[in-house]
Amino acid sequence: MKHKNTRMFLAALFLVGLSWACAKKPTAPEQIFESFPKPPVNLRAEVSDRKVTLYWVAQDSGNVQSFKVFRNTVDETTPVLVGTPDKMTFVDKGLTNGVEYVYRVSSVGQGQLESEQSEPIQAIPNIFSVLINNGGEFVNTSSVSLTLNAPTGTFVKLSNEPTFGDAQFEPVVATRDWLLSPGDGVKRVYAVFLDGVGNESSPVSDDIVLDTQAIIFSVSENTNGRLVVNGEVIHFTLNATEPDGNASVEIENGPTVPLFDNGTGGDRTAGDGLYERDYVVPFGVQTDRATVTGHFTDRAGNVAADLLAPGVVSIQTLPVAVTLLAPSSSDIGSSSVRLNWTLNSDGDFSEYRIYRATAAGVTLQSTLAGTVTDQLTTTFEDTGLESNREYFYRVYVFDGFGLSSG
């Protein structure tokens, strides 16, 4: 009787357990599928040289750990996995320009559950570019020419600002006029292209320096009014504050002297906008209180207003020296000697001065034996000499500026 009751109790427990199990609600198939992430949407491509950049939006980003990017060409039927980014963008490099590629993206969630692939998008990488004045470095006017490079049938949006503002797409032409933003300085033109399958290019740009004026700030020379003769050096300086231009100084009634900003010819520092020159005065250049005028044209072609240097420059050529002829026996007396020399024909002749010494090396500090002011007189007799003593002579030619040669 005891065992019978025990069997009945166990049977009752079994029935209760069976009843509870039957009452438990089964997991619906819909709940299992909801754990799969949804495919990305709004897939778009940005094209450039041998490169495609993809962007998309995840529908349920909280349930997505990464993405898979698939690619094939229009001639290939099976997409190939080319990337597994963990962000909603992917850059595909090393592509062939002009080839149409097809991209799809899937989402990967918890447990590596993968969504269906997104809608496909086509992209054709290509070269897109804009050049200002054929790639010039400087320009002196805001009116420029743009050269556009893009496949046939492409549209372009242009702007002086990276945000493009109200710029609209227009058909691409090989060249077009463009107006840079006002004000001197570096100017940049931005372009975005829209290709035949509806993809925009990565923004491209080119820059140029707008320089609309040139100024000479100072001109100087280092003579300080001192008379300069041929063979001496005058240092000229012109300050324009900008390098790579063309500078010179013009000596009134004399030569025009090019200046340098390349560290040579007396220029101290290359590329500092100070144009300098150690000018060796050549034979034949003569000026009297001449002005010095600075000229400058900058790298963009702007011509600066001329500027005068303070002070004046006087340059004279030394007189042409004469040759003292050896005296003949008839020219030498017991206490005198007659000297003869060649004629000086300088237009600014002043006088001949005859100097004497009792040793070789006659200079302007030696004894002045006499002066001849007639240019055509080329003889002089020195008297009152000691008999049987050797004398040395030199004839100096003086001009109207006091310069001499002997």
Query: Residue 112: CB partners within 8 Å, gap ≥ 6?
Result: none
305/373 same-domain check:
no
| DSSP code string of 322-347 | P-EEPPPGGGB-SS-EEEEEPPP--T
Position 34 scores a pLDDT of: 53
DSSP 27: P
Which pLDDT band holds residue 89 (cuts at 50, 70, 90)?
Answer: very high
Last residue of some domain: 299, 316, 333?
316
> SS3 breakdown of the chain: % helix, strand, coil, rounded to 5?
10, 45, 50
- Distances from the Cα of 71 to the Cα of 44, 58, 117, 141, angstroms: 14, 19, 11, 48
Judge whether 223 lies within some domain. Answer: yes
Q: Is 185 within the bounds of a domain?
A: yes
Q: Are residues 43 and 111 in the same domain?
A: yes
Q: Is there a single domain that holds both residue 233 and residue 306?
A: yes
Mean local confidence (pLDDT), 345-369:
94
Confidence tier at 284 by pLDDT (50, 70, 90): confident
Contact 268, 276 (CB under 8 A): yes
pLDDT category, 8, cuts 50, 70, 90? very low
pLDDT digits (tens, 9 = 90+) for 260-276: 999 999 999 999 999 99
Q: What is the pLDDT of residue 31?
A: 47
Is 6 domain-assigned? Answer: no
Residue 18 has pLDDT above 80, yes or no: no
Domain that includes residue 366, residue range: 324-405
Asked whether residue 39 is domain-assigned, the answer is yes
pLDDT at 403: 87
Same domain, 278 and 328: no
Task: List Cβ neighbours of 147 (8 Å cut-off, separation of 6 or more).
Answer: 130, 131, 134, 174, 175
Give 376-394 pLDDT, tens digit per residue: 999 999 999 999 999 999 9
16 belongs to a structural domain: no
* Angstrom distances, CA of residue 242 to CA of 135, 161, 245, 275: 21, 27, 7, 10
Q: Is residue 10 part of a domain?
A: no
Residue 398 · residue 351 · CB < 8 Å:
yes
- Mean pLDDT, rounded, for 110-117: 92
> Which CATH number belongs to the domain containing residue 250 in this structure?
2.60.40.10
* Better-scored residue on pLDDT, 7 or 343: 343
Q: Is the pLDDT of residue 110 over 90?
A: no
CA geometry: angle 165, 167, 170, nearest 5 deg = 165
If asked whether residues 251 and 300 sit together in one domain, one would say yes
* 303, 216 contact by CB (below 8 A): no
| Total count of domains within the chain | 4
Give the domain-ending residue among 123, 142, 166.
Answer: 123
Residues 259 and 311 in one domain: yes
Residue 260 lies in a domain: yes
Residue where one domain finishes, among candidates 194, 210, 226 = 210
Tell me the backbone φ, ψ of residue 4, rounded to 5 degrees: -65, -40
Mean pLDDT value across the chain: 90
Based on the fold, state whether residues 111 and 160 are members of the same structural domain.
no
Q: pLDDT tens, 31-59?
A: 445 589 999 999 999 999 999 999 999 99
**Does 119 lie in the same domain as 134?**
no
CA–CA gap between residue 237 and residue 151 (Å, rounded)? 53
* 119 and 192 belong to one structural domain: no
**Distance from C-alpha of 57 to C-alpha of 81, rounded to nearest angstrom:** 19
Query: What confidence tens digit (pLDDT) does each residue in 131-146 have?
Result: 999 999 999 999 999 9
Predicted local distance difference test score (pLDDT) of residue 62: 80
In a domain, 333, yes or no: yes
Shared domain check, 300 and 223? yes
For residues 226 and 197, membership in a common domain is answered with no
Same domain, 45 and 119: yes
Compute the distance between CA of residue 218 and CA of residue 313 in angstroms, rounded to an integer.
16
Q: Please tell me whether residue 154 adopts helix, strand or coil conformation.
A: coil
User: E strands of 14-100, at which residues?
Assistant: 41-48, 51-57, 66-73, 80-83, 89-93
